[in-house]
Each structure stands twice: as C-alpha cells, then as structure tokens.
Structure 1
C-alpha cells in the first residue's frame, strides 16, 4: 500500500489505514486528540484521555487527520459500556456514553478551561462545576429534534452523517416523549420537533409541512402555533413550538440558580434598568431580577416574544423584538446575555458593553464561542471572575457555562 511522505520525511498514512494513537485529551466536539508519527494532530472518535487506541483513518489533510477508534488497546479506568443500545447502531445523539459520568464532567471542565486559555487568552481562569446539586442523567430531556428514516419512522442521525438510526426509546428523553417515538411517522419532511411540558403534561409536535406527521396520540398538539406550559422557579411559562427553551425544567432551574449567583446581590447594583439579551420566552426576566427593576428584554424570534408578553405580564418589562446587534444601547445596571451557539461576536459585545453595566453574565452553550466572547469582553474592559459549568446535556460533549464578567472601572470607557 502506498504511503505519502510529509515535509518532515515521515510516512503519511492513507485513508482506511489503521494507526496506533495515544489520546492526550478530548476536545470540544467530543473527539479524542492525539498526534501521528509525522507530527500532525489526529482527532479520534471514541477515544478517551490517556488511552492507546487503534484508529482507522477516515479523512486527512496536510495539517490533521480524522479517525474512528476500532480497538481500545489500553483502556481508561473510566471507560464504561454505553448504557444505550443505539450507540452500537451508530446513533450520534450521545457521543460520550463510553465515559463515566465523572469523566464526562471532567472533560467538560477541561474543554472550557482550554477554550478560555487558548481562545480567551485568560491566565488560570476560575472554572467551577455547578454548585447547587445533582442534575438528572437520564429521562429528562423535554425537547427532541427527530429525523425521518426512509420508511418514515423516526430516530436520530448518525454522527457526521445524514443517515438516520431508527430509535424507539431515547436514554435521555422524558418518558412522555419516549412514548411517542415508536408510532410517530414522518413523511414529506426530514425533521420534526417534539416537546413536553412536564408540569402540564402537554405535548406538541411540529414539522413543515404540517401534514407530514402522523401516528401521534390525539392529545399531541400539532403545528408551529402549538404550545405547552412549564413551571420553573415557581413561574408558569408558555412555550411555543418554534420558541427555544432549555433542555429540561431541571436544566432551566439550574441555569436560573447559577445566573442569580453570578449576578450577585442586587442591593449592590447601580441604579437603572437591567437588560436580558437574547431573552427567549422570558425565563431570566421572570426569575432573576427584583420586581422593582425595569427590565429590557431583547429577542428577535417573534414566537418567543409573543410567549414572553404572556409570561411577563404584570412585570415592568419592555420587550424589544429585534436582534441584539441592532438594539440602541442605554445605560444599565446589569446585563444577562444568553446567545445562540455562535455567541455574542464582536457586534453583540459592542452593544452590550455600551450599556456600561457593572456586571455582564454570559450564558454560553459552546466553549469556543465562550473563549472568543471572553477575549472580546476583556478587551472592552471587563474582567472574568469565574465560569460555572453545568452538565445539562449528559452523555454528550455539549455544555452550558454561566460566566460572571465585572467592569474594570480603572479602564474608564474602554
């Protein structure tokens, strides 16, 4: 078999060749990270820190290669048998089931620390694991995005593939959603969203076109206008099919708790309004701010804004339906920002720092965007005090991070 030679003179393995790799760590997308003999980095699906694996090369370039672990030559003491049968069938929904829960959480802490160090240019950042108790590991997810198999049954896509594995029971899904999976039929659409409100027992399903779904019980509400209700921190929330909500009510409670902690004592805040950027259905506006504060809630999703108007009725709230980047900033006491995976970016940071808030609490669902945003905030005069990591997506590499940034008054209006 031919081998290509790299600029260092070492033979470069060709695709489908098997190589031995020592895994140094797990990186942001859940792959093991190591080095080939020719010096290039290699990302290995299924590898855990410290393991020696035999890996089959599936893709490579001049700088890196990608591979799949086919044999674990020296396993980690924290490697476990995946508890879900569909992992062996190729389901890509949960990519860390082969690691113990303790190791999964350590991996997430390490990923966040590396992102803040490498991308954020932070020195020894304070990274903490969620401080308010245990979060559920299975049976809690209340929103699922399912995909159609060629026969019309539903399941989840294989990792980095359009192929769909038919799934009749998801390890992490709420029982009320698992009850729908065996009979749900999807034809004429590729994906659908199913959601349950645990406190209300209401269920919905949404796909486009609307008549692409069948096989659902009569109680399941259909379409983009369908709603469920959920209780978080003593507040009732209406959640539409096309509105974003946290992965479970327990996850929402945990984020509310961590965000309150990051905001600090409201008696120490400056005068003025408070800002809830990327406010969604009003989760934080309803739960973390004192009732006597004027809240500016900024959200671009029309359905979420419609939900928020109901969820925040009776409070002193101004709902601004536009992208955060287009909002004209005003002076504010504190800011909460919960952007999508791509983070605040420079345009969002520019708007939020213009409020001159004494504290900005950033809620990030992607470690890389956290690192980039942290550096932008630092360069704009804010100091990262700490980041709290919440494992609200167990068995996956996904993570939520609540970070407290405090304005450095010595930098003036930097």
Structure 2
C-alpha cells in the first residue's frame, strides 16, 4: 500500500496515515516521501510498517555512508538522511513533544524559536561504544529492534582508537558477554569494561586499563577529568564541550556566579557540569548515587567549594539553591525527583533531557511546581540517530512559591506544612 510520510516522531520512525485514517509508524521513511510499505504490526489504534519502495524521495535522502547499514546494523538508524535534515527533524520532535506531552504553550518552544546549539562531528568522534558478539564470536552491534548481532570491522562514528581496539577483540562462540570500550583523545589510553565472563573475551591485552574501577583521564576545554569505566560520561570530549557551552548559555552568568545562592548539580555524575560551569568560590551541591561517579566527582571537584550528596535525587533533603542543573538518565526525573528539587525554591532551573518524551513530562511537572519555560534548545550529540539533547531553561514564577513537599501556593498564602 502507498502512504505519504508526514513527520518523524520520537523513536525515529515517520508518521503516516492509511486511507482509513489509521496512524502507522514507518521505519525508514522521511517527511514528505511517498512510499510503498509493508505492515509489520497492526494494533487497535496504530500500526507499524517498513518501506518496500520509495516512490517519491525527500531531498534530504542520501545513501548511508556506512556499509554496515546495508548489513542490518541498528546503531545509526538515520544515516539515510542528510545531517541538516537530521538536525531539523530533532528540533521538530522536541517542539511536538513539548506541546503534546509537556503542555507547553510558550513561544520559546516553537520550532522557529528553539535554540540550535549544534552537533558533534558525524564521523570518528565517539569515544565510548558498547560491543556485543555474534554466534561466531565476532564483535558488532545489535540489529534494529532485535537481539541479533551484526558483525562489523569498523564503526563509522567511533574514534580511530576504538576501531583499533575493536580489531583485536573477539569472544568465545555463543558468548553473551558485552564489552564497553572507552578512549581518551588527550592521552590515547583505551579502557574496557566487560559485562559477562571476562574469560570469554580474547584480545583484551590490546587495551590499557580494564574493569569498572579503572580510570582514564580526558581533557574537556582546559580541564582534565578523571573518568571511571563504571561511570557514565558523554559520548566524546567534543560532546562534553558542546553540552557545557549550551548549559552555560541557558543558565546565565549571574545564576552560575552564586548571586542567587548555591548551585545544585543533580545527577551530577563525575562533576563535568559543576567543575566546568561553577567558579571555585561558589558553593555547589552535587547529587549522585553511582559509586564510581562519586569517586570521580571527589577528584574532579577537589578545588571547588563542593558538597557531594551520595543519594538518589528523589531522596535529597532540599536546601536553599540559586539554580538547579539537572541532567538525568534517559528515563528522566519523574514526580518524586521534581518534588525534591522544587522544594529548594531555586529561582532558576536548567533541565537537560536525552529523551524528548521523558523530558517533556518533566517540564510539565516543573510547570506544575511553579516554574515557567524561558527557553528551549537542541543539541545533537549522536548524529545519524534519533537521539538528541533537549535543554530547557525555566524560572520560578514570582507569583508562586514552592512548599517543603513540592506544593505550590500563591505569595501571601500560608505555606503547606512539611
């Protein structure tokens, strides 16, 4: 059957409608294309399909630059789209998600007003990859929407140091082990972390450090950061630098200077944002519950006026704050974490979200807690994929206050009891 793709949606597929009006999500189609599709899943409210033939192609369509796409590798599902098309699609996904899920009506969330913070280099920049192994023990990545592994010899987006390490490793046939490889651009050190049986993996002597406690050093702008293999870090130094600059812009110099009060870095990891953004004399509270990231933060923030709180964000006992910067995992903050952070009464809030649906939900929760959206930005740290960073700047409504349990009440009213 023939359909016309309308827009790309969160998850990366194109939305289209059957002649009956039923919505289907089409894998591989681009906005405006007329395609012949094969239905792969039909449900009451929607269906899923794949492209059988492109009858009218988008000007943004191109041949995927990586040969492993034709082999079925699911690592980079948007390689068939131009970099410019990818970026604008991500901006539109954010605008749609904020309107639909976030219930945001602010002009700041409209497509033309969303701040474009740029993208990392689309080839050879990624310094962390997670590798699985096929039945023969060859390294590769998962096929899209599948546990099958597509063997690869070289990854287009991976840094050359990782591709060199990748060429040496293999696994025992049938092993379900996976290996995270991470490299430092500034030092050339390569680390590995094995999930599963380490003895299943051959070639680990090609890496310099091994295990979740192993640490590499990376320079971000002018600072050196210790990064444990067992802790999260951005996909590359360039990604980290772009993120720091974007958050600095959205937070504003006055808030970061401590003029409004201490800076709170929620989901602070190893301290990238706190160490990069907060002057040494300004008090900063970093909230983090990953033990390896906490150890990194202690090292990376040793020159700062930093207090590290080793608890989940939702368990933080709020103290006064001038600005909160939150960079949660893909699942977002959720109601309990928003409640805990809002209880600080921080007049400024910057939220970094790597999932537009979860981020938009969190924005809605923040607006319900008395915040208003001032600006929205998009950063592309994962070219060739549907993944994105949505950065939302909010301020506390001066006509509202936030109580100790996250409730909002008008100025002049008696605040709720704790």
- TM tier, smaller: over 0.9
Among 244, 248, 254, the alignment partner of 2:242 is 254
Q: Secondary structure at the match of 1:412?
A: strand
Q: Is 1:169 the counterpart of 2:154 in the alignment?
A: yes
Tell me which residue corresponds to 1:130: 116
1:206-235 deviation line (CA, Å, top 9, x unaligned): 113332322234443222222211111211
Q: Is the 8 A contact 1:266 1:290 kept in 2?
A: no
Give the 5 Å matches for 1:112-131. Answer: 112-123=94-105, 124=107, 125-126=109-110, 127-131=113-117
Contact 2:212 2:229 in 1 (8 A): yes
- 1:379 aligned residue: 368
User: In 1, are the aligned partners of 2:177 and 2:200 still within 8 Å (CA)?
Assistant: no
In structure 2, how many angstroms separate the alpha carbons of the residues matched to 1:294 and 1:212? 47
SS in 1 for 2:394: strand
Q: Please report how far the alpha carbon of residue 181 of structure 1 lies from its aligned counterpart in structure 2 after TM superposition.
A: 1.9
What's the counterpart of residue 306 of structure 1?
Answer: 295
Alignment counterpart, residue 190 of structure 1, candidates 171, 177, 186: 177
- For the pair 1:288 / 2:277, whether they are aligned, the reply is yes
* Partners of 2:268 and 2:199 in 1: CA distance: 31
Q: Cα distance, 1:410 vs. partner?
A: 1.0
Q: Is residue 143 from structure 1 mapped to residue 132 from structure 2 by the alignment?
A: no
Q: Which residue in 1 is equivalent to 2:219?
A: 231
Counterpart in the other structure of 1:331:
320
**Residue 105 of structure 1: SS of its match in structure 2?**
helix
Q: Decide whether the 8 Å contact of 1:116 with 1:371 is kept in 2.
A: yes
Distance in 1 separating the partners of 2:48 and 2:349: 38
The answer (yes or no) to whether the contact 1:334–1:357 under 8 Å persists in 2 is yes
Q: Deviations over 1:152-182 (max 9, x none)?
A: 1110001000111001111111010011222
State the alpha-carbon separation in 1 of the partners of residues 2 and 206 from structure 2.
54
> Which 5+ residue runs of structure 2 have no aligned equivalent?
403-407, 409-418
Q: Matches of residues 14-413 of structure 1 in structure 2 within 5 Å?
A: 19-123=1-105, 124=107, 125-126=109-110, 127-131=113-117, 135-187=120-172, 188-207=175-194, 208-266=196-254, 270-413=259-402
Between the aligned partners of 2:268 and 2:328, the Cα distance in structure 1 is: 9
Q: Give secondary structure in 2 for the equivalent of 1:73.
A: strand
8 Å Cα contact 2:345-2:401 kept in structure 1: no
**Runs (5+) with no aligned partner, structure 1:** 1-18
C-alpha distance in 2 between matches for 1:134 and 1:62: 38
The Cα shift of 1:129 comes to 4.1
Structure 1 contact 142–173 (Cα < 8 Å) conserved: yes
Aligned residues: 395
Alpha-carbon distance between aligned partners in 1 of 2:201 and 2:296, rounded to the nearest angstrom = 24
Q: Tell me how large the CA RMSD over aligned residues is.
A: 1.4
On the 8 A contact 2:119/2:379 being kept in 1, the answer is: no
Taking the aligned partners of 2:42 and 2:197, their CA distance within structure 1 comes to: 39
Structure 2 distance, partners of 1:276, 1:247, is: 20
Q: Is the 8 A contact 1:153 1:183 kept in 2?
A: no
Tell me, in whole angstroms, the C-alpha distance in 2 between the residues paired with 1:402 and 1:355: 21
Q: CA deviation at 1:262?
A: 1.0
